[in-house]
Structure 1
Amino acid sequence: MGHREDLLEGAKRCLLAKGFVRTTARDIVKESGTNLASIGYHYGSKDALLAQAYLELVEGLSEVFDGDVRGADGSLERFASVWSNIIGTMRDPGSVWRLSLEVVVMGDQVPEVRDHLSRAQRDGARGLVALLMGGREEDVPERDVDTLGSLYTTLLMGLMAQWAFDPERAPEAEQLTEGLRRLIDSAAVTTPAAAGPDPS
């Protein structure tokens, strides 16, 4: 590997061990066996390097997301299967998702990282829509990204917070799926008030 790849791998290890805020440029240099000048030359800044390293860590989880997915596109069975896979990645105390929470909580201290990840979040939402509803990411309409993608991203962020804060009581995929099923059933019930006045 060249310095660029060595830096990236070293940054990944530093992130998992120390997080964004506590990782210094010297930590990355020591871990990667490179030099300080290499960071600026290849990535522009330490924060840009850390953002890229984080994105690659998250992309590495996509194989877990996609693995052993059951159920028809858009079905409750598929919902349960996908979220079960995602929750499985949150059980480890050293989970990549804790890094995401760090950016949320301390975003002002790592603005370049926050801005970089904010731009990448839309791509993540698009990927979730394709995974849960079927089809290719590049074919997902913008309206679906704005609606379904936003819903899935909000659910993901909430799960990250719950699994980090109280893993013993954090929801499993079966609970989420049952909650969604009950919500669908409730929304499908048309009450007289919702249906409007009797025309007779």
Structure 2
Amino acid sequence: MSRTEAGGYRERLLAAAVSCLRDKGYARTTARDLVAASGTNLASIGYHFGGKDALLNEAIIGCFERWTERVEEEIFGSAPGSPRELLERAMVALVDVFEEMRPQLVVCVEGFPAALREDALRDKLAGAYARARQAGVEMLRRAGAGLGPDSPVTAEALVSVLIAISDGLMLQWLLDPASTPDARQVVDALAALSAFAG
């Protein structure tokens, strides 16, 4: 297999894995499904990923990591703003994209139950969340929104809470899109909650 062909197979397999995860789910996707969807062969799965589960795991992690990159692009793609404006941009990239990103959301959600039973996927997802938290902390620093030494919360905790809000809203949206708040409502709700915590 040539180098170009090999690279093409890997990308085709990853795209097929995303499609199969979205349409059939983690447990019901077979190696033959992946081969049919990618136009490759069974040996290419082992050659590039070591096996079907490793390929599916890589596809799930890829969806998480592309989403993190998208959030950073949204926050810093225009002129700097106030901390609230930056938070609104982050929420737009985390929440207001659900309709557009529905296939990727399904893939992300498919990863959670599988990770409860498969150590390798659980470790990969934990690593993806760790990288997302670190990226969020770096975004806070880059935005000049560092938390002072007297802050009752660390940057890591703040980013973890924002990720939890996004994950929770993602699940709500997949079940009931009409009842899920948009980015501006989320930011307004956070501001209202601060009055209780203040």
Structure 1 length as normaliser, TM-score?
A: 0.75
Report the counterpart of residue 171 of structure 2 in structure 1.
161
Deviations 1:60-79, CA, capped at 9 Å, x for gaps:
33454223566536x12211
The structure 2 residue matched to 1:60, chosen from 55, 66, 78, is 66
The structure 1 residue matched to 2:110, chosen from 78, 102, 107, is 102
Report the counterpart of residue 37 of structure 1 in structure 2.
43
The structure 1 residue matched to 2:88, chosen from 63, 80, 98, is 80
Report the counterpart of residue 192 of structure 1 in structure 2.
none
AA at the equivalent of 2:142? G
Report the counterpart of residue 173 of structure 1 in structure 2.
183
Q: Take 1:70 and 1:77, find their aligned partners in 2: how far apart are those partners? A: 10
Number of matched pairs: 179
**Preserved CA contact (<8 Å) 1:7 1:29:** yes
**Preserved CA contact (<8 Å) 1:4 1:42:** yes
The structure 1 residue matched to 2:155, chosen from 133, 144, 148, is 144
Deviations 1:101-152, CA, capped at 9 Å, x for gaps:
2232443455533332222211112223333x2429xxxxxx533x123212
C-alpha spacing 1:10/1:101, structure 2 compared with 1 (3 Å): closer
Q: Secondary structure at the match of 1:171?
A: coil
Q: Secondary structure at the match of 2:128?
A: helix
AA at the equivalent of 2:81? A
AA at the equivalent of 1:91? E
C-alpha spacing 1:4/1:106, structure 2 compared with 1 (3 Å): closer
**Preserved CA contact (<8 Å) 1:98 1:160:** no
Report the counterpart of residue 6 of structure 1 in structure 2.
12
**Preserved CA contact (<8 Å) 1:70 1:77:** no
Report the counterpart of residue 122 of structure 1 in structure 2.
130
Which protein is bigger by CA-based radius of gyration?
1
Q: Which moved more, 1:23-32 or 1:104-113?
A: 104-113
> Which of 1 and 2 has higher RCO (CA within 8 Å, sep 6+)?
2
**Preserved CA contact (<8 Å) 1:21 1:110:** no
How far did residue 173 of structure 1 move? 1.3
Q: Secondary structure at the match of 1:21?
A: coil
**Preserved CA contact (<8 Å) 2:60 2:111:** no
The structure 1 residue matched to 2:29, chosen from 20, 23, 33, is 23
Q: Secondary structure at the match of 2:24?
A: helix
How far did residue 83 of structure 1 move? 0.5
How far did residue 50 of structure 1 move? 1.1
AA at the equivalent of 1:165? L
User: Which ranges of structure 2 fall in alignment gaps of 5 or more residues?
Assistant: 144-153
Deviations 1:37-92, CA, capped at 9 Å, x for gaps:
2212221121111111222233333454223566536x122112210222122124
Q: Which moved more, 1:63-72 or 1:153-162?
A: 63-72
Instruction: Tell me how large the CA RMSD over aligned residues is.
Output: 2.6
**Preserved CA contact (<8 Å) 1:39 1:45:** yes
How far did residue 8 of structure 1 move? 2.1
Report the counterpart of residue 135 of structure 1 in structure 2.
142
Identity among equivalent pairs (%):
32
Report the counterpart of residue 149 of structure 2 in structure 1.
none
C-alpha spacing 1:16/1:173, structure 2 compared with 1 (3 Å): same
**Preserved CA contact (<8 Å) 1:129 1:149:** yes
Q: Take 2:67 and 2:168, find their aligned partners in 1: how far apart are those partners? A: 18
User: Which ranges of structure 1 fall in alignment gaps of 5 or more residues?
Assistant: 137-142, 189-200
Q: Secondary structure at the match of 2:164?
A: helix
